[in-house]
Amino acid sequence: MIASLDSRTAPFERLNSRYVRFLDVLRARGFEGEIAPDYANRTVLATDNSIYQRLPQAAVFPKHAEDLERLAKLASELPHRDIVLTPRGGGTGTNGQSLTDGIVVDVSRHMNQIKEIDVEARRVRVQAGVVKDQLNAALKPHGLFFAPELFHL
Ligand SMILES: Cc1cc2nc3c(=O)[nH]c(=O)nc-3n(C[C@H](O)[C@H](O)[C@H](O)COP(=O)(O)OP(=O)(O)OC[C@H]3O[C@@H](n4cnc5c(N)ncnc54)[C@H](O)[C@@H]3O)c2cc1C
């Protein structure tokens, strides 16, 4: 049986005009990632690894750090200060932390590069959308892993 979203996430909920304005200006300012106010993307990101559901106004998928700067700068400007931005990685938080009725800033689509592995110092530099399995696959040839490793407990 396919579970359906409950009435809190019904499609008749219209986009808030403040959010529509924010997304229009964001686009005009040169945001290079995708801006997704469509119901399909909103529905996908209305759930995470928790029991909760919350329908966002939109999702955005930043391409790079400059896109994040564009978002933060715009949200700090007076007409947009009540806009809610909620970052999201894998959505694996178990308490609904990545759910929002504002805008989901999903960094997992594009910002998922492993920038540097310093084996000597046992340090890695990654973008915020890297998931642990991906990191551990890259670390394995060096005999390292990022904890916790559930399968070895
Ligand atoms: C099977 C399982 C086992 C786990 N075991 C452990 C454990 O042993 N130890 C432990 O500490 N945790 C454990 N966790 C929890 C785990 O740490 C979190 O699920 C994980 O850190 C969430 O990462 P995420 O990228 O999926 O974040 P999300 O679920 O996407 O987001 C979590 C929160 O972080 C914020 N956030 C996400 N990305 C960013 C960003 N780039 N910048 C700022 N804020 C951001 C979100 O807004 C949200 O509030 C476990 C989870 C699972 C499912």
Best residue for ligand 1 mutational test, from 64, 92, 112, 132 (most atoms within 8 Å of Cβ): 92
**Shared-domain flag, residues 40 and 92:** yes
Among 51, 68, 88, say which to mutate for ligand 1: greatest number of ligand atoms within 8 Å of CB. 88
What values do phi and psi take at 59, rounded to 5? -125, 145
pLDDT the model gives residue 13: 61
> What is the whole-number distance in angstroms between the Cα of residue 78 and the centre of ligand 1?
31
Q: Are 60 and 70 in contact (CB under 8 A)?
A: no
Question: Which residue has the least CA distance to atom 2 on ligand 1?
Answer: 92
Q: Over the chain, what is the mean pLDDT?
A: 91
The domain in which residue 136 lies consists of: 114-152
Residue nearest to atom 10 of ligand 1 (CA): 148
State residue 14's pLDDT score: 78
Same domain? For 26 and 90 the reply is yes
Mean of the pLDDT values across residues 124-131? Answer: 95
7 or 91, which is more confident?
A: 91
Q: Indicate whether 121 belongs to any domain.
A: yes
Residue 65, both tokens: 């750090």
Q: Is the pLDDT of residue 15 over 60?
A: yes
In this prediction, residue 34 has a pLDDT band, given cuts at 50, 70 and 90, of very high
Question: Going along 8-84, which residue ranges are E strands?
Answer: 34-36, 58-61
- Which CATH number characterizes residue 30's domain? 3.30.43.10
Average pLDDT over residues 111-130: 97
pLDDT tens, residue by residue, 97-112: 999 999 999 999 999 9
Per the CB < 8 A criterion, the answer to whether 45 and 59 are in contact is: yes
| Residue 140 lies inside a defined structural domain of this protein | yes
Split into its structural domains, the chain has a count of 2
